[in-house]
Structure 1
Amino acid sequence: MELLEDAQLNKHVLSTGCEGIDLLLQGGLRMGQLTELVGASSSGKTQVCLLATSNVAKKHMDGVVYLDTGNSFSPQRVIDFIRQNPDPAIDQAKHRILQKVMNRILCHSVFDIFTMFDVLHQLEVNLRSQKGDCQVRLLIVDSISSLVTPILGGGGSQGDKSHCGWRGRYL
């Protein structure tokens, strides 16, 4: 109970950049917790991930690691999201600010679960030895189902969602 009160008081949340989604998530993405987005193909899950990526990199000035399993990461879309909410500082030094924000985002293409485990292990090693001000605040896996479905089996493009959710919590 004490941890919950601490989290609520200290607002250990990261805004997705969308007020409606943040409201549904009671403030945003909780740091240290898994948040799984589930929906039909083309329902906007990747767009939410890209929006959250741009928001954390810009507003929190922290790092984001984006594990892309389907070649869906779009640097241009991230830039579009950043430009969507004009900031006087960005208007004055657009290119320099955009470059700093984009440098906070590290995207890895991963096409199987074993590569993902390797990337996560390397990330852990890097974080343990990390020095400097920029820290990774957000880890996105877009999409975990495409990695675990070949192992667990599954009929559709979404695979067995209950198994994917369980495996996602394990990761």
Structure 2
Amino acid sequence: MNNLQNLLPLKFYEALERANINSTRQMVTLSIYDLKKSTNLCNEDILFIKKIVSDNCCPKSVTCDLLQADLRVTTGCDALDNILNGGYRRGTITEIYGESGCGKTQLAMQSALNNWQNGSVYICTEDLFPVKRFEQLKKGLLGYKVGIDCGKNIFVEHITEALDLLSCIRVRLPKLLVQHKPALVIIDSVAAPFRSETTNYIQRAEELREMAVTLIKIAQEYNFAVLCINQVSASFDENVELLPSLGLAWSNMISTRIWIKKTKASVDVKSFTWINEVTSKNEVYIREIHIMFSPDVIKCMIKFVITEIGMVAI
């Protein structure tokens, strides 16, 4: 009733109080006829009260033109940003999967580096954070200058156990988000802590769901994107080469799935005249990035190579 008292003029509040109507829910759900019978108010007054209460209770409406602003986080690759309509979507989970050595970690580090000004969180669950490769990739940043500390806003954590990962996401990550506002949180990889020798798949599914729900909740609250690297499993379907790990329990929680595929084709990096910093071998293998599903992106593919300065589309 206190809420109604703060919302309504005194005479309307007193009429509702006499009729024992003491919540905004009653005001919204009761019909005009029922309210008129209980309060002896006229139709115009009841419609006026309903409008005040409804405007106060309903969520704020946001039009599509307003949603365009600041909804994406750059991937660090212009070609990938273009097909993703600007990059990884904030408030959702994007998954990148592929076989070992296809370039998943390369893309994850490049994404973290290109968001260093806003900040990134990088959670390693398999190997130590590749500092040497990180220093190489810094040279490919637009406007890079020697002496600029591009790693000062990139927070790295090493975790190997599933329970520790859940604890980090539930406790330590929210504490960090109170003091810093990163644009991107990366888990590399999400599969490693959950692919142990345990056979309790029901418990694993529950832990995966809890982790995903918590990530989505805090991502929407603090307005950042979540990028999860996933491993692959063999497929028994002749038409499917590889499947992402963790099954449907995980697949149902992600919004966008990206597959990085190796190919046997190669290309001479020196043929790209804009890549002047590359000093290593000329021939590199071509990789493919496939958008498997996304709520607002069609299925498509781009080709790229990995160089000393990072991922370069061809």
Under TM normalisation by the shorter chain, which class is it? 0.7 to 0.9
2:135 is matched with which residue: 63, 74, 79?
Answer: 79
2:156 is matched with which residue: 107, 130, 133?
Answer: 107
Deviations 1:79-105 (A, max 9, x none): 222211352xx43xx12x1x2x21111
In the alignment, which residue of structure 1 is the partner of 2:173?
123
1:6 is matched with which residue: 62, 66, 70?
Answer: 66
Contact residue 92 and residue 254 of structure 2 kept, 8 A: no
Higher helix share: 1
| 1:22-101 map, 5 Å | 22-57=81-116, 61-71=117-127, 73-87=129-143, 90-91=144-145, 94-95=146-147, 97=148, 99=149, 101=150
| 1:157-168 map, 5 Å | 159-166=245-252
Cα RMSD for the two superposed structures? 2.6
- Structure exhibiting the larger radius of gyration computed from Cα positions: 2
In the alignment, which residue of structure 2 is the partner of 1:15?
74
**What is the letter of the counterpart of residue 54 of structure 1?**
L
Unaligned 5+ segments in structure 1 are none
Q: CA deviation at 1:7?
A: 2.5
**What is the letter of the counterpart of residue 127 of structure 1?**
L
Separation in 1 of the partners of 2:92 and 2:151?
24
Separation in 2 of the partners of 1:141 and 1:109?
10
Higher strand share: 2
Unaligned 5+ segments in structure 2 are 1-60, 205-231, 235-243, 256-314
Q: Describe the SS at the equivalent of 1:84.
A: coil
Separation in 2 of the partners of 1:103 and 1:48?
19
Separation in 1 of the partners of 2:139 and 2:72?
23
**What is the letter of the counterpart of residue 98 of structure 2?**
G
What TM-score do you get using the length of structure 2 for normalisation?
0.44
What TM-score do you get using the length of structure 1 for normalisation?
0.76
**What is the letter of the counterpart of residue 70 of structure 1?**
E
Deviations 1:54-111 (A, max 9, x none): 0000xxx122111101115212222222211352xx43xx12x1x2x21111111111
Hey, which bits of structure 1, 4+ residues long, moved more than 6 A?
none
Separation in 2 of the partners of 1:63 and 1:45?
20
Q: CA deviation at 1:15?
A: 0.8
Contact residue 149 and residue 164 of structure 1 kept, 8 A: no
**What is the letter of the counterpart of residue 80 of structure 1?**
Q
Separation in 1 of the partners of 2:151 and 2:245?
33
Paired-residue identity, %? 22
**What is the letter of the counterpart of residue 142 of structure 1?**
D
